[in-house]
Structure 1
């Protein structure tokens, strides 16, 4: 009787544990630990009730037990974790693929080691140890290979239509074979074939989800990159118009200031006019790089730096970057300088807010280098992709990726490094 009860509740325990492992990176609700314990208890009671109360033959009873338990586990995950119901069901199905793979592997090893399928996993200590070793090992390996990277920022970002296709095509087949194997329990060879196929089917589902997530990540990145590019184009067009207006106004103001200087003025008024003259000269003559796109970008960013009291200097040979498409050049510089400004703005001491930029030729190379003060302990990953520190992670953090794509478009290489208190971005192109 006890063995029968244990066998009837072991499936929801295995399924929930597998789902808990899959949901390690998912946002949790309050008192989630208590919710987990209560969910295990409730699932066991529910499964035991289903097993003893639902009438019918093995196929009908098994199907009802499976479907009701999976649905219940999905609802319990929704109760434990701060995710949508469809995310909870998705997590449950990933957990089922892991659980079923481990179950098949355990039965397979039992056949190979004993020649017969065990009537119960709790018969003796040797069977229990084999069970624990296989399940824990399978869960760990499958999680590290596939399930670990499925969630992002505490939720699943997936294409549910494509994911559902994999589950609909493969999981029911595994379920049917599982029911068939119970009907042919007397033939270990046929059971062995079923276990191998079911393991392959479950591994295939997890593999498809893993690659599906990669495709979705690329789609999200491309969408964001398109938005960034579109915003940069609009900003570029607006900047050209604005700076052109500023330049014309500056020329007009210079003549008006000259006229005022010829009059007899007090010392205070002369000082005020000198300050206005300096400001006009800054906007009128800041950057002349022989590249209109560079002039526009540098002028725009220098005004931002001026607003935040950032020391910005640029030694640039604009002709060296003439091989780049104007929009590519503007987006690349805009993202790079925006990243530098964002980092430097956090520094409290204004005298330490420094950004410098150089574009120069060295042998057969053209080098773009942007340096900015960086007092934080910032580590640069090997792939050079920095994670954003902004709250809106869906639309930020793609600046470096955008720069890299543009650099690689022109067969260049991008490197990021931190040297003492300076963060250095270097793009190198062949002439």
Structure 2
């Protein structure tokens, strides 16, 4: 056995590595505890993990897996309590922290043995006594965990929900168990086909296997993010196409309505000649006013915006929502029809949906403004809302049950704005939910005659 030649990692150092690995993932989460509570919980967790490792070291060798299972359970509880993460998310972090802790501890001990124990007259002296040993320990641990934090920060952003599935957790746990088992196999039994037998080389094998496990978990998370991004883009693309199809359908419907009204205007003269002139006069005046009201909604300077506003105005009437709009549609000439319909359609849909939830009919209000400021197109969408905004990981999420089909409205708006170099901000102010878009006007864009439309 290797332990007869070179001592294995002191249990206290393993416990410290496990605690530091957990802290990496705690710090990568936005929804962690307040600093004072986190400091207190971290201190307790450090003592527990070091104590569990020390206690496991007193058990017979055959009980070693039980001690490690207890240590892994403590790591999980620490991560779960410190990050307020869902059960599966905490398990996913625990698997990664376990492999990372094994990797750093194995790397440090390999370096430690190479410089301080090989060739010593008393190789059994495994302590960190002496400035050189302490300095080596500090440099390796600090550098390794700092690099791990920077590497993992590319895949774990504080504002991004983790959304770990059962399959993701099972894969991560399997990688961690296989890595942990293979890296320590030589220390349990040197008689298997996969065990090392040449002293110091066993440490090298353990470090290499732990590194492969960490790389495998890193690749798994990268693949998860790639699949999630593809899913979001697909959902956003479906929304864009849906909004565009709605626009085309609404445009055809409005064209049919306009043709009908055009015919009715020619029939007014005939109707006026009918019997009972007072009733007919009153009816005709009302009919003409209706025609003018509908026609007045199609003069923003953008045929796409005309169709969207007309359609949303009718929807607001049906849902008891008061829509007020001041818009210069000529500013949208540099955007494609599909992008205009997606951006404005989603923004108005969200605003109308939010306003319709308000119990007080007098507060079911939606305001839209579209105007130019310097070299920017400014769009604001405001609506009264019921005061409830659901967030996860700092992001607003849908209140509907089917998240696979809903919840991408704001993402689609942001995506479209950023496509043109713009930005989107969301805020709540005095009972109002406000979405504000700033999109720079291209230098080569030539506007048509500015038009301002006001609907109330």
Note whether the superposition's TM-score is higher than 0.5. Answer: yes
**Quick check: 2:271–2:280 contact (8 Å CA) kept in 1?**
no
Instruction: Verify: 1:302 aligned to 2:313, yes or no.
Output: yes
Q: Do the aligned partners of 2:304 and 2:341 also contact (CA within 8 Å) in 1? A: yes
Q: Which residue of 1 aligns with 2:433?
A: 423
Q: Any residues of structure 2 matched to 1:178-327 within 5 Å, and which?
A: 178-182=184-188, 183=190, 189-256=200-267, 259-260=270-271, 263-265=274-276, 277-327=288-338
Unaligned stretches of 5+ residues in structure 2: 1-57, 118-122, 127-144, 442-456
| Residue of structure 2 in register with 1:411 after alignment | 421
User: Does the CA-based 8 Å contact 1:97-1:205 persist in structure 2?
Assistant: no
Q: Distance in 1 between matches of 2:125 and 2:105?
A: 10
Does structure 1 residue 389 correspond to structure 2 residue 395? no
Offset at residue 379 of structure 1 (A): 8.0
In the alignment, structure 1 residue 334 sits paired with structure 2 residue 345:
yes
* TM-score normalised by structure 2 residue count: 0.61
- Does the CA-based 8 Å contact 1:101-1:198 persist in structure 2? no
SS at the partner of 2:60?
A: helix
Mapped contact 2:324–2:367 kept (Cα < 8 A):
yes
Q: Residue 3 of structure 1: which of 46, 54, 60 is its match?
A: 60
Higher mean C-alpha deviation, range 90-99 or range 205-214: 90-99
SS of the residue corresponding to residue 396 of structure 2 reads coil
1:157 and 1:242 map into 2 onto residues whose CA distance is 47
Change in 2 beyond 3 A, CA 1:254/1:179 = same
**Residue 380 (structure 2) aligns with:** 369
Deviation by residue 1:19-63 (Cα, 9 ceiling, x = unmatched): 788998667xxxxxxxxxxxxxxxxxxxxxxxxxxxxxxxxxxxx
Shift in Å, 1:273: 6.2
Work out the CA distance in 2 between the residues paired with 1:257 and 1:20.
79
Change (3 A) 1:364 1:21: same
CA contact (8 A) 1:250 1:284 kept: no
Q: Distance in 2 between matches of 1:348 and 1:386?
A: 22
- SS of alignment partner, residue 404 of structure 2: coil
Deviations, residues 374-422 of structure 1 (Å, cap 9, x unaligned)? 3415488998x42111111112111111111211121222222222122
Q: Relative contact order (alpha carbons < 8 A, sep ≥ 6): 1 or 2 greater?
A: 2
- The CA distance in 1 between the partners of 2:341 and 2:325, in whole Å, is 15
How many residue pairs end up in the alignment? Answer: 346
Alpha-carbon displacement from aligned partner over 1:69-116 (angstroms, at most 9, x marks no partner): xxxxxxxxxxxx9xxxxxxxx998986665455456667778869966
Query: What residue is the counterpart of 2:136 in the other structure?
Result: none
Match of 1:398 among 393, 401, 408: 408
Instruction: Assess if the C-alpha contact under 8 Å between 2:241 and 2:338 holds in 1.
Output: no
> Is 1:372–1:424's contact at 8 Å kept on the other side of the alignment?
yes
TM-score under structure 1 length normalisation: 0.64
1:200 is paired with a residue of what secondary structure? helix
CA distance in 2, matches of 1:172, 1:380: 37
In the TM superposition, residue 279 of structure 1 has moved relative to its aligned partner by 4.1
